[in-house]
Structure 1
């Protein structure tokens, strides 16, 4: 018994020694928390210019002025460095940043438009290989500006600009559906998927760019960041931008519309607002005589949001008319989106991916020239629309005003 007790004691001591601490710990006052990273192309070179939006913990925690003489302490600081590779630029930043960069809380990867046009396939290898940056980090491409400039803009409501832009992406995708909330992992998966090209949301600066770098107490900020449209990629390069209804049509085909608002004009200049509650898209493919046939079927449900003219919704025929008009508008948006993809010769819908699953033998003969074959595809769109709710009343007060 004494021997067993001695052995148990030794084992307990060894276990306590092994659990006595973390071998790779980093103290909070020794790290710089990166909330967003911007990557630009250095003009006339193949080098990267990398920007880091780093949190100033004191300013964010207290929300008070600092720095002396009544100066306002900025919630973030933006550091930049350049290098032949992304990792070299990150390591070179140690010459300017007094703390070790910490990427585990990064919210955004911002890609400059010039870099996106030259190609971003190689860019994502660092994120796929590294262990610090999360693959769930959101990706966005700038429009008409550099990634560095986007990171420097201070935002209202959110102290940390990265959180503000990430919030815009979430709300825009959830409520308007003309932007897509892609992550690093989503983009990488699309790059390695046969028969599919990626799309990434865009971000633009509205207003006076220089004023956006300053802290302001105005109720109407002079500068704002806006999520705007989606970027279509082909062969890893930005091919073109898509905005408005065509952008929404792309998300409809990809079955990524959560909610949005459709304005119908069933009679003259009178409008009816339809809020989409649910949308489900089914895409099927087949090949006949070497020509791909694409069947897109959309089922959507919605509710009335507003009516600008007297309309008695107690009559079922009135609802049927609105449903047909809604289906007609959706059909038009989807076909517009398909035309945009065909003009860019970029299969952003994953039609080729579906073709590979349903017709693997035929796909082998089509995949090399798929972008050209995709343009020749015949597309058939079917839309079923149902208005589930009409609001608190079926007969609007506008009817009483006209009597």
Structure 2
């Protein structure tokens, strides 16, 4: 597997035609970058996670880790990257970057300036994910060894892609998408948080991947709320899921709901579509959110007759009520606590009423905080599984 991974990396260079064989031997292939703010200094600390060719090649494997880290400081990100040539025998090459991790302290001060180089560098493909390190530095995240994927950057990239498809609380944002949100009128940016759970000292050693239960693990957290280019705070898991529902970002997820009498059931959401419509009503902006969802009964922990159409309708109504509650509470948090329109309600007003938007856009923060939002959710349960009623009924009778 390692041999194939290394071959694929080589082929990427050959097929793009950017570099010849001689130049490839002079490049440090960088799959992840971390950018932190140096405490007490007007400098950046930049960390590059670089592939070790001999470690990922089966033929030349040395038994060591598949990546190495280079870290340098600089007044700009560009300067720090160039300064790495003092310690790296090869030039740092980020053309195949998969992950950019921004430190939490830097995010609070503003990420715009630190992204400038990455946005204009012609060697970079802007399809890599951008995340925010929560409660740790970006360097500490990149210093953790991982299993399943020997290259931590690849594990982080694949993990976010899988989580985004299966769980509505995470959201993969590429550099292109982030920049669009940062410069848009009527929409603020969000990024998924990434954390280090466990012992970070052991996490940087080979011991971390030799245990069944890992002393340290990288895990994705909830969404980070931005206003302009500054981190304002963090959403809860429920609010992160609410955001995904509002912005039509749910690909698939599961939701636990109450049964009509007592107990719980779980709905697997297989299809989810939200539409945001902006209007001006009696001279005031207003937004309507209409959500249509389809799903299956995934788990039943209550007494309910799933062969009865009325029971299915009851579950649908309970789901609709719960989803509406989550969406409304998420909107309340953003209006009252952060005053940050991460949903794009302003964009919806702009699309429907460009003239009115031009009148209110300068005061959109205040308008957003008082905005009336009407939410309607429709759920249709399609399947109930291979067992119509839970076998728990017979056990507990």
- TM-score, scaled relative to structure 1: 0.90
Q: Deviations over 1:126-174 (max 9, x none)?
A: 1221111211011000000000000010112110000111122111111
Indicate the residue corresponding to 1:120 in structure 2: 111
1:374 to 363, 368, 372: 368
Match of 1:152 in 2: 143
Aligned to 1:349: 343
Cα distance between partner residues in 2 of 1:172 and 1:22 = 33
- Kept in 2, the 8 Å contact 1:156–1:221? The answer is no
- What SS does structure 2 have at the residue aligned with 1:210? helix
Distance 1:365 1:185 in 2: 29
Name 2:160's counterpart in structure 1.
169
Q: Which runs of 5+ in 2 are unaligned?
A: 1-16
2:326 to 324, 333, 336: 333
- Larger CA deviation: 51-60 vs 264-273: 264-273
Change (3 A) 1:65 1:30: closer
Matches within 5 A, 1:103-118: 103-118=94-109
Superposition misfits of 4+ residues, deviation over 3 angstroms: 21-26, 63-66, 399-403
Structure 1: unaligned runs, 5 residues or longer: 1-20, 67-71
Q: Is the 8 A contact 2:317 2:379 kept in 1?
A: yes
Give per-residue Cα distances to partners, 1:231-268, cap 9 Å, x unaligned: 00002100010121110000111100001110011256
- 1:40 is aligned to 2:50: no
Give 1 or 2 for the bigger CA radius of gyration: 1
Q: Which of these residues, 227, 232, 240, is aligned with residue 247 of structure 1?
A: 240
Q: 2:50 aligns with which of 47, 50, 54?
A: 54
Does structure 1 retain, via aligned residues, the 8 Å contact 2:170–2:240?
yes
1:9-28 equivalences under 5 Å are 26-28=22-24
CA-atom RMSD in angstroms: 1.7
Work out whether residues 228 and 243 of structure 1, in 8 Å CA contact, stay in contact via their aligned partners in 2: no
The count of corresponding residues between Structure 1 and Structure 2 is 378
Q: What secondary structure sits across from 1:370 in the alignment?
A: helix
Deviations 1:101-137 (Å, cap 9, x if unpaired)?
A: 1111110000000000000112222122111121101
Check 1:38–1:26 CA distance in 2 against 1; reply closer, same or farther (3 A cut): farther
CA contact (8 A) 1:331 1:383 kept: yes
In the alignment, does 2:352 pair up with 1:358?
Answer: yes
User: Counterpart of 1:354 in 2: which secondary structure?
Assistant: helix
**Cα distance in structure 2, aligned partners of 1:154 and 1:23:** 30
Q: What is the DSSP-based 3-state SS (H/G/I as helix, E as strand, rest coil) of the residue aligned with 1:278?
A: strand
Secondary structure in structure 2 of the residue aligned to 1:297: strand
- Give the whole-Å Cα distance in 1 for the aligned partners of 2:22 and 2:357: 51
